[in-house]
Structure 1
Amino acid sequence: MKKLFSAFCAAFALLAMHGAQAGGISDSGANAYWGGDSHGQGDVIGGSMYDIGGATIARVGSVLTVTINTAFAGHAGADSWAGPNGIGYGDVFLSQAWNPFGTDAHHTGDNAANGTKWNYGFSLDNRWSNTGGTFKLYQLNGSTNAANIKNSESFMTCTLGTQCLYRNGQATAVKTTSSTVNYTGLTGSWTVTKDQKLTFTINASSTALVNFSSFAMHWGETCQNDVIEGLVRVVPTPGSLPLLALGLGALCMLRRRRHG
């Protein structure tokens, strides 16, 4: 019986591993993405509050979760002189392929005009909330990013110069009024936590996102003072495997409690 129980637990571990696909993108070190138009400031413009450390993308069945580690979590509304309501959280952009401009490690010439064309966007209902809220999933069908997105210039009212620096030309928000942008009918939720994380979760069962073998991602604040981009490789998984893994996990936990 003990051998059978051990086999169940081993199966649970295997299924849990296959049921949840996740990968990370780092925004620090020699290969960190900077993006174009940093105006000589490098990775981060405006100090450590805007720093992005990394991100993870996970898919369990049809549920997609994007988690971003950033010191800006909880600071929406900062620098109110720079734009209406201050600096907020940008939208999340996704695509299956990542095609940044330039061959240098930091892609210092890459922007929305010459880089990856984004296929989906999470459009936040309130990008200045420091607790979270909801977002809508849009499919971006225009032939260029210009047809589908707004850059940081759309959110900044200060004049770009020595007293006002921000990373212009970067994808910042879904242009929901564009005829090339279609609402999928799906809504997700996002949270801001004290451990400096933004977490976005959505059930994307009726979209191509559930079949992506890889995810390219872009995110930054509305000023894009720091930007994270990169690629995570995953494999499609049926939703039944995570459910079976959860069931086996419950059996393992129950058995251990009885043994205790």
Structure 2
Amino acid sequence: MKNLLRIAGLTLALLALPAAQAGSFTDSYIGANNAADVIGASTYDISGASITRVGSVLTVTINTAFAGHAGMDTFANAKGIGYGDVFLSQLWNPAGTAASGYSTDNANTGTDWQYGFSLDNRWSNSGGKFTLYKLDGANSTNILNSNSFVTCGSGCTYRQDQEVAVNTAAGTTAVAQKVGTQALQGDWTVTADQSIKFSINVASVSDLMTFKSFAMHWGETCQNDVIEGMTSVPEPAGLALLGIGLCGVLAVRRRRSA
């Protein structure tokens, strides 16, 4: 019985710490307008992504060789190729099939995203800040596609009509809204040749605190590689319920031993 009580005490102590929930997926998405996973140099390759929620801090990590290489290929754009914004939703509705890499999916045919991380400087290789936006309605009014970031026309190949950036423009057609009376911001960091990490405290955003699953989209401004998919990230309350259940089991065993 003493051993059981020690285990219970240790379990409850662990439950008092911020609970970490995590999900990840590999890059099996191709999308519309190209049959290859990666267009051009292998520097554009994306291998996977993870989403974690530790307490109220939500973190999205993109594993990509492009980390640290924003500004390359200036023939495509005066500033070169930059980092895209992160798009999140509770549900994922891609067009096409998994077997084809969702080869008919793009911003016009697939998931309408609910939230976006708008980067302060998508050409920075040292990271910076991003602003959280709530996206209501269709992608066509919320999002700027890859076509808006590649200016070489027919002279180069890239993945067209894919989601790149939150449309933050003012006006009646822009429905993307900053979250909170003061813009809610997070931080993003770059580990060269390895990953890009985006972290934000979402304690005031009930959706992002309680979503049990997340769909996500990210790619470079040319979308020469894109990662899109869905993963489970349990609610923070889940471990607390586990602790309550354990205490209940111990109480029953103690009564039986009396």
The TM tier, using the shorter chain, reads 0.7 to 0.9
1:194 Cα offset (Å): 3.4
Q: Distance in 1 between matches of 2:161 and 2:16?
A: 43
Gaps of 5+ in 2: 241-258
Give structure 1 stretches of 5+ with no counterpart: 242-260
| Structure number with bigger Rg | 2
The equivalent residue for 1:36 is 32
Classify the secondary structure of the residue corresponding to 1:88. coil
Residue 12 to residue 84, structure 1, CA distance change in 2 (3 Å): farther
**Alpha-carbon offset, residue 179 of structure 1:** 2.9
Q: Is the 8 A contact 2:15 2:239 kept in 1?
A: no
Equivalent residues in 2 for 1:37-56, closer than 5 Å? 37-38=33-34, 40=35, 42-56=36-50
Q: Give the equivalent residue in structure 1 for 2:89.
A: 95
- Is 2:114 the counterpart of 1:119? yes
Matched residues, number: 231
What secondary structure sits across from 1:80 in the alignment? coil
| Contact 1:60/1:239, CA 8 A, preserved across alignment | no
1:172 is the counterpart of 2:153: no
TM-superposed CA distance for 1:239, in Å, is 11
Task: Report the residue type matching 1:33 in the other structure.
Answer: Y
Specify whether residues 104 and 6 from structure 1 end up closer, same or farther in structure 2 by C-alpha distance, changes over 3 A only.
closer
Q: Which amino acid aligns with 2:20?
A: A
Retained in 1: the 8 A contact 2:188–2:197? yes
Root mean square deviation, CA, Å: 2.3
Q: What one-letter code is carried by the residue in structure 2 that aligns with 1:219?
A: W
Residue 235 of structure 1 aligns with an amino acid whose one-letter code is P
**Dislocated runs of 4+, deviation >3 Å:** 2-16, 238-241
| TM-score (ref. length: structure 1) | 0.83
Contact persistence 1:61–1:240 (CA under 8 A) = no
Who is 2:225 aligned against? 226
Determine the structure 1 residue equivalent to 2:214.
215
Instruction: Determine if contact 1:148/1:174 at 8 Å carries over to the other structure.
Output: yes
Offset at 1:117? Answer: 0.4
Q: How does 1:1-260 map to 2 (within 5 A)?
A: 3=3, 8-12=9-13, 19-27=19-27, 32-38=28-34, 40=35, 42-105=36-99, 106-141=101-136, 143-160=137-154, 163-177=155-169, 178-184=173-179, 185-194=183-192, 196-207=194-205, 208-238=207-237
2:147 counterpart letter in structure 1: E
TM norm structure 2: 0.83
